[in-house]
Amino acid sequence: MAVVDDELNDSPLLRQVLGDALVPMQRFHDKLLREGVERGIIGPRDEDIIWERHILNSAAIVPFVRERLSTDGQTATVADIGSGGGFPGIVLAACLPQCSVVLVEPMERRVTWLQEVVDELHLANAVVIRKRAEDLVPQSSKASIRHNTKSSQSRHHGRRRRIEKQSVSAYGRVGSLASTEARNADSQQDVNDHDSSEVTGGAGLPDVQSNLSIPQTFDVVTCRAVAPMTKLAGWTLPLLRSRGQLIALKGRSAQAELDKAAKEIKKCHGENPRVCLAPVAPGLEDTHVVLVDKH
């Protein structure tokens, strides 16, 4: 059973988890409570559990990003894909002021919300841009992925021709070949849906802060509840620099998603995909984080 939000308002857990970010996160919490439901950022049932479900859950990603930074010994660039209401990107920017965080969101009303939050919380290290993740992918990465896809398809068609020839020889006709991979529809909804009706097309999409330089590739890419890994791999891994890392907040089906997406991850030069438990706070249920390294 979820902890009621009021019980956490004065809890020392907040300071323990959020540290110096507690003050801006209190402002974020209050804005979500005042406006979140009306503006479609959170659901009506979330009003009593904003701390646990959204802010502390997002903060669970912070140690993974921090570990990645300490390993590289540098100030990192982070892209939060499908930022939506700011989970985990806003929380990450508040907790790690040494990071440059780019909040990537295609929907206009959410971009407006994100920019308001960045301004009200005085997050000088956060930039909001209105784009789809795939519009940020460098052309060189797109070409590499297309090459890998064509090579894979060529090998697949070659195998298929050999099988069909064998089928004709044995049965005097071409057999009906079923796909060797199950094509089950994934039941996970894309919470931060890429709504093309609110986007004015391709690379010309307006940036909220177009005067700031946006890197072509990032040290870390984060996301929460955006899409299943079969889609997410193609949206996020091409945005990573070599030896960068995807850090995605996921639910209990994380390992099953990774298993389904193995080929897509490899095609996008991802390696060592794994699921880690991520503590939220003492006494609260852990969440899951998917980590994928970029070759």
**The domain spanning residue 95 has which CATH number?**
3.40.50.150
Q: Is 82 annotated as a binding residue?
A: yes
Q: Is residue 265 part of a domain?
A: yes
Domain total of the chain: 1
Q: Is 224 annotated as a binding residue?
A: yes
Question: Is the bond preceding 88 in cis, omega lying within 30 degrees of 0?
Answer: yes
Lowest model confidence (mean pLDDT) among 122-136, 186-200, 262-276: 186-200
Phi–psi pair at 221, nearest 5 degrees = -120, 130
pLDDT of 72 reads 55
Q: What is the CA angle 153-155-158, rounded to 5?
A: 105
Q: How many Å from the N-terminal Cα to the C-terminal Cα in the chain?
A: 41
Query: Count of CB atoms within 10 A of residue 284's CB?
Result: 18
Lowest model confidence (mean pLDDT) among 5-14, 35-44, 238-247, 258-267: 5-14
Q: Is residue 284 part of a domain?
A: yes
Q: Is residue 200 part of a domain?
A: yes
Give the residues across from 240 on adjacent strands. Answer: 218
Q: Is 35 annotated as a binding residue?
A: no
Highest mean pLDDT (candidates 142-146, 199-203, 215-219, 272-276): 272-276
pTM of the model: 0.77
Q: Is residue 99 part of a domain?
A: yes
Sheet holding 100-104, edge to edge: 126-129, 100-104, 77-81, 218-224, 240-250, 287-294, 270-278
Q: Is 87 annotated as a binding residue?
A: yes
Q: Is residue 269 part of a domain?
A: yes
**Range of 290's domain?**
59-140+188-294
pLDDT of 146 reads 56
CA distances from 61 to 128, 173, 182, 224, 285 (A): 20, 56, 32, 10, 14
Instruction: Provide the token pair at 203.
Output: 């690379």
State the average pLDDT over residues 85-93.
98
Q: Is residue 4 part of a domain?
A: no
Query: Count of CB atoms within 10 A of residue 210's CB?
Result: 11
